[in-house]
Amino acid sequence: MEEDRLTYTRILDSFDIKEADIKTVSPLTFAFIGDCVYDLIIRSMVIGKGNTSSKSLHTKTTKLVKAESQKEAFLRIEGLLTEEEMDVFKRGRNAKVHTSAKNASKADYHVATGFEALMGYLYMSGRHERMLELVKTGIESDS
């Protein structure tokens, strides 16, 4: 049922919060929410492939959400992106990030930030099917 789906808009409505104008959201804000949404998608997928120990679930998830894997996922979907989606990615990739990656190169970290910005943008703009389509294509050979 549609009313049972947890979406950005439903969350905001539940707390009586006005939805942000998507055109004014910064790329790092998109990346902030995109990181979480992407992680939730991957965790859901990993759990769906079989109930196992939390350590195993964590290991499988971490492999797919690390910056290097996100860069590889982006490279798989790059040719499928619309001009608008590529613009969001580039804005995220080129944003001045004030943190550094612990276990990734600076280049991989920037691509991952762009990828997360794209995921956040798609989530916040209600394009969930498109987001899932891109994630599925991006991780096909990793999962």
Decide if pLDDT at 141 tops 80.
Answer: no
Residue 122, CA distances (Å) to 31, 47, 111, 126, 141 in order: 11, 23, 17, 6, 23
Q: Residue 21 — pLDDT band, cuts 50, 70, 90?
A: confident
* 20 vs 40, more confident: 40
Cα–Cα distance between 118 and 84 in angstroms, integer?
10
Q: 67-77 vs 128-139: helix axis angle to the nearest 10? A: 110
- At 68-87, the pLDDT tens digits run 999 999 999 999 999 999 99
Identify whether 35 is a catalytic site residue.
yes
Of 4, 13, 35, 142, the active-site residue reads 35
- At 43-69, the pLDDT tens digits run 999 999 988 999 999 999 999 999 999
Residue ranges per domain, the chain?
25-139
Residue 14, CA distances (Å) to 3, 19, 22, 36, 89 in order: 12, 12, 19, 19, 30
CATH number of 25-139: 1.10.1520.10
User: What pLDDT shows up at residue 1?
Assistant: 42
Q: 54-65 vs 27-48: helix axis angle to the nearest 10? A: 140
Which tokens belong to 87? 């613009």
Cα–Cα distance between 72 and 74 in angstroms, integer?
5
